[in-house]
Amino acid sequence: MKTHYQILIIGGGTAGITIAAQLKRKDSTLDIAIVEPSEKHYYQPAWTLVGAGAFDFADTERNEADYIPDGVDWIKDKATGIDPESNSVETATSGTITYDYLIPVPGLVMAPELIPGLKEALGKGVVCSNYTDPEHTWEVLKNFKGGNAVFTQPTTPIKCGGAPQKIMYMAEDYFRKNGLRDKTNVLFATPGTVIFGVPEFAKTLNKIIHDRDIIFKPFYAPVKIDAEKQEIYFHYAKPGESNCTVQEGNSLGEELVGALEIKVHYDMLHIAPPQMAPKFIQDSKISIQEGPGKGWVDVDIHTMQHKRYPNIFSIGDVAHLPTAKTGAAIRKQAPVLVENLLSVIKSGHLGQKSYEGYSSCPIVTGYGKMLLCEFKYDNVKDSDPMISTFVDTTKEQYSMWLLKKYGLPFMYWNLMLRGKA
């Protein structure tokens, strides 16, 4: 087995496969390997629809082998360490592999253990998550008979920041269609300050929340789950607040259990688990060592090149970029990385490509309705000029639902992973 590669990619997910495919299309002579232990590749953006019974889980799964680009070696193993000083990667069973250029893009890992009680509760009974088992979410939804339907997310960065509210809108629509809405409280509790960071889209979402009588609680950070009693505890995280008030006899039955802790009973709980970079990334010198970005790969937010190790580039979920962690972001980040890396290989200098922070969050707001939220750094709206010529993307659209259900999966499997989009 080879132990040295010109370009070593860690991770065979959206980022790894897209980059490898684009590199090979530009220069078929490149010597590339992908380190990836999984036999299966998943189109995770459709898991929102799976959780609402609008997409078949089996259609989100393909064989990883079918998407490793021709001429790229697949090292079916997992990385366990990176030493950028010696240009080497440790693996679980294949030993040490060295590289000229490294692209660490392994994606995030779920860390339910960061919320006490969540690890034990997740995926059992009425506690579900589209992030881990969307089929279970659909079972919970179908068996729901009324009461408090609670939707929440952690304080850590997460894949697709909009996903926790997408399933909430779908569930609310499901309750309406099935005669359960009048005996159900739909609660969306988030540690964030607003429903969505981009004002143009937030305006529409705030109106939807108001019109559909959804209870929105900002500054609510989930801190503990008691699965036996079906109770979730939130810390009221509004800056500068030293106490919190809860109205007596409120419809949710909220209870104050301390100056800043609130207890809520749930009859259905959908939660995005806390998420973080894999341990081998956090423990490596390639991650930021201190401060707000601690544990994430230290790259330039425009060039995708590592700030301290010029032969390392990274994009996607583990890169420290101030934008949403989505497949749409990767689609715009990958060509920048590819051009800049090829330029460094050929001339020793970066190319001209720059990434401006584009990401997109297709927010389904019900069955047959979707808002295509596109934005760039600093929460600036950045809608596709072609789409926005024909469609007002700040409004719910049936055409955007069709894009989500049919267009985007087709583009992902047939264009993006083949290095064509």
pLDDT of residue 13: 98
pLDDT of residue 184: 98
**Largest separation between any pair of C-alpha atoms in the chain:** 70
Q: Look at residues 216, 242, 272 and tell me which one is the last residue of a structural domain.
A: 272
- How many distinct helices (H) and strands (E) make up the chain? 11, 22
Give the lowest-confidence range in 106-110, 181-185, 255-259, 266-270.
255-259
Decide if 160 is catalytic.
yes
pLDDT digits (tens, 9 = 90+) for 265-298: 999 999 999 999 999 999 999 999 999 899 999 9
* Domain with 45 in it: 4-108+277-354+409-418
Based on the fold, state whether residues 253 and 290 are members of the same structural domain: no
> Which parts of 27-162 fold into alpha helices (H)?
47-51, 118-121, 134-143
State yes or no: pLDDT of 384 exceeds 80: no
Is the residue at 361 inside a domain? Answer: no
Please indicate, yes or no, whether residues 326 and 414 belong to a single structural domain of this protein: yes
Give the CATH number, domain containing residue 102: 3.50.50.60
Whether residues 34 and 81 share a domain: the answer is yes
- Tell me if 380 is assigned to some domain: no
- Residues 94, 189, single domain; the answer is no
- Res 388 pLDDT > 90: no
Asked if residue 385 is part of any domain, the answer here is no
In a domain, 236, yes or no: yes
Q: What's the confidence (pLDDT) of residue 246?
A: 79
Tens digits of residue pLDDT in 306-328: 999 999 999 999 999 999 999 99
Torsion (CA) 302, 165, 247, 140 in degrees, nearest 10 = -140
Q: Evaluate whether residue 128 is within a structural domain.
A: yes
Q: Is residue 131 assigned to a domain?
A: yes
| Single-letter amino acid code for the residue at 338 | V
Q: According to the model, what pLDDT value does residue 391 have?
A: 82
Within this chain, do residues 153 and 12 fall inside the same structural domain, yes or no?
no
Tell me the CA distances in angstroms from 397 to 204, 365, 371, 392, one per residue in order: 12, 9, 6, 8
Q: Is residue 311 in a domain?
A: yes
Radius of gyration in angstroms for the set of CA atoms belonging to the chain, rounded to a whole number: 22
Long-range contacts of 406-411 (CB under 8 A, 24+ apart): 408/45, 408/362, 409/43, 409/45, 409/46, 409/59, 409/60
Sign of CA dihedral 53, 55, 58, 61: negative
Predicted local distance difference test score (pLDDT) of residue 126 = 98
Q: Average pLDDT, whole number, for the chain?
A: 96
Look-up of token digits 């339907």: 149
Q: Say whether pLDDT at 7 is over 80.
A: yes
Active-site entry in 128, 160, 244, 373 = 160
Contacts of 302 (CB under 8 A, 6+ apart): 336, 354, 355, 356
| 3-class SS shares of the chain: helix, strand, coil, % to 5 | 30, 25, 40
**Same domain? 328 vs 413:** yes
pLDDT band at 116 (very low <50, low <70, confident <90, very high): very high
The owner of tokens 């629809």 is 49
Last residue of a domain, one of 272, 293, 320: 272
Q: Residues 41, 88: one domain?
A: yes
CA nearest to 220, candidates 233, 205, 202, 207: 233
> Given this model, what pLDDT does residue 99 score?
98
- Half-sphere exposure at residue 28, Cβ-oriented, CA atoms within 13 angstroms: 2
Instruction: Tell me, yes or no, whether 144 and 233 share the same domain.
Output: yes
Catalytic residue among 128, 244, 361, 373: 361
String of DSSP letters for 39-63: SEEE-GGGHHHHHTTSS-GGGGEEE
Instruction: Please check whether residues 414 and 286 belong to one and the same domain.
Output: yes
The whole-angstrom separation of Cα 208 and Cα 199 is: 14
pLDDT of residue 250: 80
- Rounded to an integer, the average pLDDT of 380-393 is 83
Answer whether residue 249 shows pLDDT above 80. no
Per-residue pLDDT tens for 133-145? 999 999 999 999 9
Task: Of 274, 299, 267, 298, give the one whose Cα is nearest residue 285.
Answer: 298
Q: How many domains does the chain have?
A: 2
Same domain? For 268 and 123 the reply is yes
Q: What is the token pair recorded at 28? A: 């078929």
361 is an active site residue: yes
pLDDT at 387: 75
The pLDDT, as a whole number, for residue 111 is 98
Residues 247 and 143 placed together within one structural domain of the fold: yes
Final residue of a structural domain among 272, 304, 330:
272
- pLDDT of residue 247 exceeding 80, the answer is no
pLDDT at 244: 83
Could you count the other beta carbons within 10 Å of the beta carbon of residue 117? Answer: 20
For residue 297, what are the contacts with CB-CB under 8 A and spacing of at least 6?
104, 277, 281, 286, 287, 288, 306, 314, 318, 319, 320
Pairing label, strands 359-366, 369-376: antiparallel
pLDDT at 64 over 80: yes
Q: What is the pLDDT of residue 1?
A: 84
Q: Would you say residue 151 has pLDDT above 90?
A: yes
Q: What is the pLDDT of residue 343?
A: 98
Instruction: Judge whether 68 lies within some domain.
Output: yes
Spatial separation of the C-alpha atoms in residues 372 and 128, rounded to whole Å: 25
> In terms of domains, do 268 and 284 share one?
no
Alpha helices in 6-145 (DSSP H): 14-26, 47-51, 118-121, 134-143
pLDDT digits (tens, 9 = 90+) for 178-229: 999 999 999 999 999 999 999 999 999 999 999 999 999 999 999 999 999 9
Q: How many CA atoms lie within 13 A of 130 on its CB side?
A: 33
